[in-house]
Amino acid sequence: MTIQAQLNKVALVTGGSRGIGAAIVRRLARDGSAVAFTYSASAQLARELVARIEADGGRALAIQADSADAVAVAGAVAATVQAYGRLDILVNNAGILTLAPIDSYPLEDFDRMLAVNVRAVFVAVQAALQHMRSGARIVTIGSIAAERVGFATSSVYSMTKAAVATLVRGMAIDLAPRGITVNNVQPGPTETDMNPADNPHSEAIMALLPLKRLGQPDDIAGMVAYLVGPEAGFVTGASLSIDGGYTA
pLDDT in 10s for each residue of the chain, 248 residues? 444 445 689 999 999 999 999 999 999 999 999 999 999 999 999 999 999 999 999 999 999 999 999 999 999 999 999 999 999 999 999 999 999 999 999 999 999 999 999 999 999 999 999 999 999 999 999 999 999 998 899 999 999 999 999 999 999 999 999 999 999 999 999 998 777 777 777 778 888 899 999 999 999 999 999 999 999 999 999 999 999 999 98
Output the CATH code of domain 3-242. Answer: 3.40.50.720
Please count the other Cβ atoms lying within 10 Å of the Cβ belonging to residue 232: 18
Rg of the chain in Å (alpha carbons): 17
End-to-end CA distance of the chain: 27
CB distance 168 to 141 below 8 Å: no
Catalytic residues: 157
- pTM as predicted: 0.94
Please count the other Cβ atoms lying within 10 Å of the Cβ belonging to residue 147: 18
**Residue 8, Ramachandran bin (φ over 0: left; ψ between -120 and 50: alpha; else beta):** left
CB distance 239 to 146 below 8 Å: yes
In the chain, where the domains are located = 3-242
